[in-house]
Structures are given as C-alpha cells and as structure tokens.
Amino acid sequence: MKRLVVALVLVAIAWQGVAPVAAETTPSTPLAACEDAALAGDYSSWVCLGGNLTGVDASTGVLESKTVASSQVGEPVTRARLGVSSLSSSTFDSDFDGWCELGTICTRRITMYISETKGNAAWGDQSGVRGTFDVGLRTNLNGRSARWTVYLTVDSGPSILINEQWVNCYEDLNYWLDNNCGQHRVKAQGGVTSWTINYSVFKSPLLYGNRLENSNKYYGQTSGRFTPSGFQTLVMSPLKSAEFECWGTGNCVFP
C-alpha cells in the first residue's frame, strides 16, 4: 500500500512538471484567417477582403494575390447567423454599416433585378493590422444592361484617399478567361475621380453598364487603389457581385 501511495505521489509530481500542450485555434472568420496569413508571410504591405489576400512581397516588391479562406456565404447555418435571406427587405441605403459585419463577404438578393454584395476588409504591414473598411457593390439590372453603385466606409484606422475605383463587367465563359464587357470608373459627386472616405458611408453616383448582347451569365467586380492617411498606396482586392443571367433576347435577371 505504501509503495502504491509513493508511486501516485511521484506521478503527480512528474505531471506537474509537464507543460500543457497548447491547443491549435482556427481563425474565427475568413478575414481573420487572411490577416494571419498576411502577418505570417513576407509582405511589406497587404490588403485582405474576406479571405482574399493582396500583398507586396517585401523581398521582390511584386504584388501577389491569393485566396486564403473561402468567403462564400451559403451554408444554412452561416446564412442564418448573418441574417442573410434570398429575398431581403433591407438595402444598403438603410443598413450598409450594420449588415454583414463578421469578417466575410455576403450577397443578398433584393429582387430578381437587384442584388447587393458587401465585403469586410483590413489593411496593414509587417507590424500588424493598421485599419479596416467595408466595400459594397449594388447591381441594378435594367433590361439587357446592369447599373452599379459602390459603397465604402472606414471601420477603424485613419481616413482613406480613394485614388481610383473601377467596376468591371465580365461575361462568365466557364473554363475560359472571362470576357470583359465594360470598364467603368467610379466617381464621387460632381464627377470627382479621387476622394476621401471616413466613418460616414460613401455612396457613388449610378454607373451605367453596356448593353449585353450574348446569351450568357454575367457579373460585376469592383476594385481600385487607395492611400490611407500617413501610409503608402495599396491595391484593393476585387469584390465580385452575384452572377446574373441574360438568356436569349430577354431581360437580365438574378436567379
């Protein structure tokens, strides 16, 4: 009995000397996973949009882009958690800075002719995250063409100068390189092509897309260059809208 007690005491002492193994943690959001990858990589500066990373290699100065984590919102649990529905009664004009704030990219169908996509973004350098912002793209279909509105707002960090912002139209060619069906420069009120955003929501004037002649699927994508106050110019990761269908000679619609 004494030997058993001594053995148990020795085991307890030995156990106390063993450091616990730290459990591996999974990033809580696509944006967090992208930020981790940016800080683990050798980037002098970087931008994350959801799980999509765009960064400048510190050794070569080459701009690199890659997807670190899927930002797709589509699983039933995620859709419920984000409050995403296939037909929404809210729009960016009423809730842009409140809807979809969980470090991802969300899309909601307002009607068969209107859809909105929003992405949560962060930027920084080798020292860490320096600021965060949101970008949104509203697509309003009109017959055989699309009209777009871009929304932007700063969530944290300094104000941001938008050097240039574009919306590109693409025709989905499946396994081939998608066909560019129009490039449209975003402007502020008065036709200004460079402007500053802060903690209030910026809404662009309406952009009018080209007439889409082919019977196919299409989508819009917005990206650009921006300069945070006191920092260098960065490239914004592209934000892609939901695809819309323009079959035959009929009107384009969101399925």
| Structure confidence at residue 238 (pLDDT) | 93
Return d(Cα 30, Cα 102) in angstroms, integer: 9
**What would the pLDDT profile of 195-211 be if each residue is shown by its tens digit?**
999 999 999 999 999 99
Beta bridge partners of 62: none
Residue 19 has phi, psi (to 5 degrees) of -70, 135
Q: What is the CATH number of domain 28-246?
A: 2.60.40.2360
The strand ranges marked E within the chain are 43-49, 52-57, 63-67, 105-111, 114-125, 128-142, 145-156, 160-171, 179-185, 195-197, 202-203, 207-208, 216-228, 234-240, 244-246
Residue that wins the pLDDT comparison between 108 and 4: 108
**DSSP states along 215-236:** SEEEEEEEEEEEEETTS--EEE
Question: What rounded mean pLDDT belongs to the chain?
Answer: 86
Return d(Cα 75, Cα 210) in angstroms, integer: 33
Checking if the pLDDT of 178 tops 70, the result is: yes
139: Cβ contacts below 8 Å, ≥ 6 apart: 114, 115, 116, 117, 146, 147, 148, 220, 241, 242, 244, 254
Looking at residues 122-128, what average pLDDT do you find? 96
Checking if the pLDDT of 9 tops 80, the result is: no
Length, in residues, of the chain: 255
Enter the tokens of residue 83: 């409050």
Checking if the pLDDT of 78 tops 80, the result is: no
| Structure confidence at residue 173 (pLDDT) | 93
Residue that wins the pLDDT comparison between 6 and 223: 223
Return d(Cα 36, Cα 8) in angstroms, integer: 43
Return d(Cα 77, Cα 150) in angstroms, integer: 28
Enter the tokens of residue 113: 């002719």
